[in-house]
Chain A
Amino acid sequence: MAAKIDDLEEGRLASASVKWTTHLLSLFVIAGLTAGVYATMTGHQIAYGLSREVPWGILTSSFAFFAITSTGLCLLGAISHAYGVTPLRPLGSRAVYLAIVTTVTAFMLLAFSVESPLLFIYYNAASPNLTSNIWWLSTLYGIMSGCLFLRFAFLVSGSQGLALTFGIIAAVTAVGANNNLGGLFTLASDPPIWFGIQLLILFLASAVLAGTATVIIFTVVAYKLRQQEIVGETHKALETAATLMALMAGIVLVVTIARFYSIFFSDTPDPGITAARALINGPLAVNFWCFEILTGLIVPLVLLLLTKTKSIWAMTLAACMAMVGAYVQRFDLVFSGQIVPKFSGWNDLPQYLHYFPSGAELIVVIGAFSLVGFGFLLGERFVGKLFRLY
Chain B
Amino acid sequence: MKRLKTKRDRRTDNSGEVSFKERRRFLCLGLKITSVFVGGSILSLVPVPEVKSELLGVSVVGTYPYQPHYAMLIYKDRCIDCERCIEACTQTNNIPSYGSRNIILSRKKTGIAASKMIREFLPALCNQCNRPPCVRVCPTRATYKDKKNGIVMINESLCIGCKACMTACPYNARYYNREIQAVDKCDFCYHKRLQNGDTNTACAEACPAGALFFGDLSEHKSEIYKLLHKPEQTILVLRPESGSMPNVFYLQG
**From A269, which residue of chain B is reached at the shortest CB distance?**
B241
Contact check, A115 vs B181: say whether CB atoms are below 8 A apart. yes
Q: Is B55 an interface residue (CB 8 A)?
A: no
In the assembled complex, B139 has its CB within 8 A of some CB on chain A = yes
Report whether B167 and A188 are in contact in the complex, using a CB–CB cutoff of 8 Å.
yes
Nearest neighbor of B42 in chain A, beta-carbon distance: A343
Chain A residues, CB < 8 A from B176: 43-45, 52, 55, 115
Q: Are A120 and B160 in contact (CB under 8 A)?
A: yes
- A346 lies within 8 A of chain B by Cβ: yes
Contact with A along B126-147 (1 / 0, CB 8 A): 0000000100111111100000
Compute how far the CA of A52 lies from the CA of B178 in the bound complex, rounded to whole angstroms.
Answer: 12
In-complex Cβ contact of B107 among A119, A123, A348 (8 A): A348
Report the bound CA distance from A249 to B38 in whole Å. Answer: 43
- The yes or no answer to B175 lying at the interface (CB within 8 A) is yes
Q: Is B197 an interface residue (CB 8 A)?
A: no
Provide the residues of chain A in CB contact with B168, threshold 8 Å: 188, 190
Judge whether A129 and B167 touch: CB under 8 Å. no
Task: For chain A, residues 336 to 356, give those with C-beta under 8 angstroms from any C-beta of chain B.
Answer: 337-338, 341-348
- Which of A56, A123, A189 contacts B167, CB < 8 Å? A56
Q: Are A129 and B140 in contact (CB under 8 A)?
A: yes
Residue contact B137 to A188, C-beta cutoff 8 Å: yes
Structural contact, B139 and A135, CB atoms closer than 8 A: yes
Residues of B within 8 A of A128 (CB): 139-141
Q: In which size bucket is the chain B interface? A: 35 or more
Report the Cα distance A271→B171, complex, angstroms: 13
A214 within 8 A of B: no
* Distance in angstroms between the alpha carbons of A288 and B168 in the assembled complex: 24
Q: Is A30 an interface residue (CB 8 A)?
A: no
User: By the criterion CB–CB under 8 Å, are A53 and B139 in contact?
Assistant: no
With an 8 A cutoff between CB atoms, is B154 at the interface? no
Main SS of the interface on chain A? loop
CB atoms of A346 and B105 under 8 A apart: yes
Residue of A56, A124, A187, A345 ringed by the most chain B CB atoms within 10 A: A345
Chain A CB within 10 Å, residue with most, of B137, B159, B175, B178: B137
Q: Is the CB of B136 within 8 A of A131?
A: yes
Q: 1/0 contact trace for A15-35 toward B, CB 8 Å?
A: 000000000000000000000
Q: Which residues of A contact B105 (CB under 8 A)?
A: 343, 346-347
Q: Is A138 an interface residue (CB 8 A)?
A: yes
B90 interface contact, C-beta 8 A:
no
Could you say which of B140, B159, B166 contacts A55, with CB atoms under 8 Å apart?
A: B166
Contact A127 B141 (CB under 8 A): yes
Whether the Cβ atoms of B166 and A52 lie closer than 8 Å is yes
B231, CB-defined interface residue at 8 Å:
no
Q: Which chain B residues lie closer than 8 Å to A344 at the CB level?
A: 40-42
**A52: chain B residues within 8 A (beta carbon):** 99, 166, 172, 174-176
Instruction: Flag if A45 contacts B178 (CB, 8 Å).
Output: yes
| Chain B interface, >50% SS class | loop
CA A191 – CA B171 in complex, angstroms?
11
Q: By the criterion CB–CB under 8 Å, are B42 and A345 in contact?
A: yes
- Complex CA–CA separation, A189 to B242 (angstroms): 6
| A270 lies within 8 A of chain B by Cβ | yes
Residues of A within 8 A of B63 (CB): none
- Of B106, B160, B172, the residue contacting A116 (CB under 8 A) is B160
Residue of B nearest to A129 (CB): B141
- Alpha-carbon separation in the docked complex, A52 to B124 (Å): 15
Asked if A113 is at the interface of the complex by the 8 Å CB criterion, the answer is yes
B106 touches A134 (CB 8 A): no
Q: Is B138 a contact partner of A132 (Cβ separation < 8 A)?
A: yes
Instruction: Give the contacts of B152-178 with A (CB-CB under 8 A).
Output: 158-164, 166-172, 174-176, 178
Q: Measured between alpha carbons, how far is A367 from B103 in the docked complex, in Å?
A: 39
Specify which chain A residues have a CB less than 8 angstroms from the CB of B40 in the assembled complex. Answer: 344-346
Q: Min CB distance, B98 to chain A, in Å?
A: 7
- Closest-by-CB residue of A relative to B122 is A346
| A343 to B124 CA separation, bound complex (whole angstroms) | 10
Q: Indicate if A114 sits at the interface (CB-CB under 8 A).
A: yes
Asked if B239 is an interface residue, CB under 8 A from chain A, the answer is yes
B169-202 contact mask (Cβ, 8 Å, vs A): 1 or 0: 1111011101001000000000000000000000
- For the complex, is A86 an interface residue (Cβ under 8 Å from B)? no
Q: How far is the CA of A99 from the CA of B95 in the complex (A)?
A: 44
Known A-B contacts A119-B160, A344-B41, A347-B105; the reply to A190 vs B136 at CB < 8 A is: no
Q: How far is the CA of A348 from the CA of B161 in the complex (A)?
A: 29
Q: Which residue of B lies closest to A192 (CB)?
A: B241
Distance of A32 Cα from B74 Cα, bound (Å)? 48
B111: Cβ under 8 A from any A Cβ: no
A184 CB within 8 Å of chain B: yes
**B107 adjacent to A114 (CB under 8 Å):** no
A47 nearest CB across to chain B (Å)? 11
Determine whether the beta carbon of A114 is less than 8 Å from that of B162: yes
Given contacts A114-B161, A115-B181, contact A134 B42 (CB under 8 A): no
A184-B164 in contact (CB<8A): yes
Chain B nearest CB from A180 CB (Å) reads: 11
Residues of chain B within 8 A of A341, CB atoms compared = 172
- Given known pairs A55-B167, A114-B162, A271-B41, the reply for A134 and B124 (CB within 8 Å) is no
The answer for the CA separation of A386 and B106 in the assembled complex, in Å, is: 65
CB neighbours (8 Å) of A348 from chain B are 107
Residue from the list B172, B175, B178 in contact with A342, Cβ < 8 A: B172
The distance in angstroms between the C-alpha atoms of A271 and B106, with both chains bound, is 19
Determine if A133 is an interface residue (Cβ-Cβ < 8 Å).
Answer: yes
Q: Can you list 15 A-B pairs with a CB-CB distance of less than 8 A?
A: A45-B98, A45-B176, A52-B99, A52-B174, A55-B166, A56-B163, A115-B161, A115-B162, A116-B161, A131-B136, A134-B164, A138-B139, A192-B241, A343-B42, A346-B107
Given A114-B163, A128-B140, A343-B124, 11 other A-B contacts at CB below 8 A?
A: A55-B166, A132-B139, A134-B162, A190-B168, A190-B244, A341-B172, A342-B42, A346-B105, A346-B106, A346-B122, A348-B107
